[in-house]
Amino acid sequence: MREDESNWFSRWEEQLPPPEELMPLSQTLITPDLAIAFDIRNPHTTNTNTNNANPQHQQSHQNQHQQHQHQPSSLPSSTEFADSGELGSGTAGEEPARTLKRPRLVWTPQLHKRFVDAVAHLGIKNAVPKTIMQLMSVDGLTRENVASHLQKYRLYLKRMQGISSAGGGGSGAGSVGVNDPATDHLFASSPVPPHFLHPVARPNSDHFMPFVPVPAIHHQQQLAAAAAAQYHRPVGHFGSPPNGHFDNPFLSRQHQQQHQHQQHHHQQLHRIGAQMHHNPVAGYVEDMESANASGGRKVLTLFPTGDD
DNA sequence: GGGCTAATAT
DNA sequence: AATATTAGCC
């Protein structure tokens, strides 16, 4: 029950920033490894939260209701993790970067959607890990992350084609082609652009662009903000409510960069999410606790992009 | 180096 | 099970 599955394209176009703004990515300037290794965080962010002794993970529960504007002293009611032994204080306080391992990336439906959109807009031809990674503009995302995911996604598409042309499939249920929900529920949760499945009729013309004025420069803020991903140990409470309402000045590094880079002609868009209209926020229920089944690894997560 | 596939590891 | 990592190969 997504919104208009036929609208995904046009909606994307509206907020698709010109390539110029996408180029200055953070990962080219500062490696994620270094970032997490040195615990690079936002220098400002109103350090009201007592993150000095409580740098624990708070990952996927960010999509709470948008109630607390500021909650200086107490943690969000999400988790009362008393685990303050590993990263916060101890041996791993400022361990050199060389031996650090980045947490596993959790492909949330939102993140996967960005992935799919990126691939769709690049066209199958240009959809290679590096390019996809750049288009996604999710900080902390590595080429390996994308490559691995892309690999799986391709297999998924292949299977999709297979069953679609397999004829019959009478045992299917209902209208939607449910293949194997158990096999890949993630992929099934995001709309797959039609041209992904059937071989494009035109051998020499890749993807088509319906209409693309793309004059919407002001939307880039939201785009970049939506792209923000977080590693462990963020700054406390943030997390962008799905309706695109940001009240926290955190944002990603890369955002700041392209910020300065694009600040030429155009009006003021004060705060990050200074304005918004109500969005019929459709709650995505993320339950991916199974992600840490590996036994206690930290996981990289990202919060809802909001443009779902 | 980057990308792709398959296999393997965690 | 979901990702990461590695190994060949192009």
Average confidence (pLDDT) over A74-78: 34
What pLDDT band is residue A98 in, cutting at 50, 70 and 90? low
- Tell me which residues from 167 to 226 on chain A have a beta carbon below 7 angstroms from nucleic acid strand C: 183-186
Rg of chain A over Cα atoms, rounded to whole angstroms, equals: 20
Average confidence (pLDDT) over A17-36: 47
Mark the nucleotides of strand B covered by protein, meaning any atom under 7 Å from a CB: 2-7, 10
Residue with tokens 């962010």: A45
What whole-number distance in Å separates Cα of residue A81 and Cα of residue A58?
9
Through-space separation of residue A89 CA and nucleotide B5 C1' in angstroms? 43
Q: Answer yes or no: is pLDDT of A111 > 70.
A: yes
Q: Specify whether the CB–CB gap between A55 and A87 falls below 8 A.
A: yes
Instruction: State the pTM of this model.
Output: 0.52
**Which residue has better confidence, A91 or A253?**
A91
Q: Answer yes or no: is pLDDT of A203 > 90.
A: no
Nucleic acid strand B within 7 Å of A37 CB: no
Q: Compute φ and ψ for A111, nearest 5 degrees.
A: -65, -40
What whole-number distance in Å separates Cα of residue A225 and Cα of residue A303?
10
Question: What's the pLDDT score for residue A123?
Answer: 87
Token pair listed for A146: 């994308």
What whole-number distance in Å separates Cα of residue A78 and Cα of residue A81?
9
**Which residue has better confidence, A247 or A15?**
A15
Nucleic acid strand B within 7 Å of A294 CB: yes
Looking at mean pLDDT, say which of A10-24, A188-202, A209-223, A236-250 comes out highest. Answer: A188-202
Mean pLDDT of chain A: 53
Average confidence (pLDDT) over A205-222: 37
Mark the nucleotides of strand C covered by protein, meaning any atom under 7 Å from a CB: 1-6
- Tell me which residues from 273 to 292 on chain A have a beta carbon below 7 angstroms from nucleic acid strand C: 290-291
Q: Answer yes or no: is pLDDT of A37 > 50.
A: yes
